[in-house]
Amino acid sequence: MGTDQERPADLLQGTLELLILRTLASGEKHGYEIAEWIHAASADALSVEEGALYPALHRLELRGLLTAEWDVSANNRRAKYYRLTPIGRRRLKEITDSWRRTSTAINRVLEAT
């Protein structure tokens, strides 16, 4: 997490949305958990900045893809937990499919001789 680490890959516009939705597919989480989960799941390759994460979360909430509820966390602090809505779940499926198609296509191009 220090500045001396290798610079994580820049998150493409819209990709953060996909990552957040995917993270929440396995159940409700608060903001810190989401950041950590992405970091761990990407084998430390991706690091989400707070300055990008929270605006993205709130935007998704305002669009109705997530709902949020305040609850008490494991260590007894007040935390805001985010959960996918049915619309969010549908949207996750759509953009996952579209992402797969795109990345397959790009891979094909890269491997073409």
Residues at the contact surface with other proteins, assessed by CB under 8 A: 1, 30-32, 35, 49-51, 54-55, 58-59, 61-64, 70, 73, 75, 77-80, 87
Whether the Cβ atoms of residue 31 and residue 16 lie closer than 8 Å to each other: no
Nearer to other proteins, 98 or 102 (CB): 98
Give the DSSP H/E element, type plus range, for residue 19: helix 15-24
Residue 34 · residue 20 · CB < 8 Å: yes
| Minimum separation from the CB atom of position 104 to other proteins (A) | 29
C-alpha to C-alpha distance for 80 and 99, rounded to whole angstroms: 29
Query: Would you say 6 or 111 has its CB closer to other proteins?
Result: 6
Q: How far is the CB of 84 from other proteins (least distance, A)?
A: 14
CB 57 within 8 A of CB 82: yes
Minimum separation from the CB atom of position 108 to other proteins (A): 34
To other proteins, the closest distance from the beta carbon of 58 in angstroms equals 5
CB-side exposure of 39: number of CA atoms within 13 Å?
Answer: 13
Between 12 and 62, whose beta carbon lies closer to other proteins? 62
